[in-house]
Amino acid sequence: MIETLTELLTTDQGKTAITSLTVFLLGTFIVRIFQPKSKVVWAVSNGFTYLMPKVEGGPVADSILVCTTSIWVQNTGRQTAENVEVHFNFKPHHYEIFPTRTFSESIRADNRMTLSTPELSPQEYFAVQLLSAGRELPLVQNVRWKDGVSKEIAMGPAQILSQNIMRLVRTVMLVGVFAIIYGVISGIVWLGS
């Protein structure tokens, strides 16, 4: 079996077939990588719980818990995401969306709330700021768009690097990809000779 494969690889037809297959697979891989797609991700960027003290003469007799959180939704893809929905297990006392955008709210029969926006452009984001007094905040049950279900990502403070450093990193990565492709093709040619 190995001898037959070696003989096939040493013939001109075998080399042509291997080269054709390699070019086809690399072409398909490159098209899939660079084809524009939408990709929506979400994260809980921050949240706080405050124990608000009793105010003399105020309407509340005891101290009260006030909970806040911020849900971040972003299209990290290169194509517009359509029909983006954020599903909560109940409606909070108050919420706001920033930056302001067109959205609709719907409450289902089981009291679950859905916020919908018709589209989210590439690299565009919005944050849903939630506030609740005297009870917990609703949890995000699901974030979805026309092409799929969103993935929750971890979010935290990070250092922002300069554009020059980011360009250098991208250039080094691109050179590395081409070096790997060159190495694979050279290895195939070496095996064929």
Does residue 188 form part of some domain?
no
Q: What confidence category does residue 42 fall into, taking pLDDT thresholds of 50, 70 and 90?
A: very high
pTM above 0.85, yes or no: no
Does residue 82 form part of some domain?
yes
Supply the CATH number for residue 44's domain. Answer: 2.60.40
Does residue 28 form part of some domain?
no
Does residue 25 form part of some domain?
no
Does residue 109 form part of some domain?
yes
- Provide the residue range defining the domain that includes 61: 40-152
> Buried b / exposed e across 52-73, counting CB within 10 Å, b at 16+?
eeeeeeeeeeeebeebbbbbbb
Query: Number of structural domains, the chain?
Result: 1
Give percent of the chain with pLDDT exceeding 90. Answer: 52
How far is residue 185's CA from residue 23's CA, in Å, rounded to a whole number?
9
Q: Where are the beta strands (DSSP E) in 53-93?
A: 64-75, 81-88
Does residue 6 form part of some domain?
no
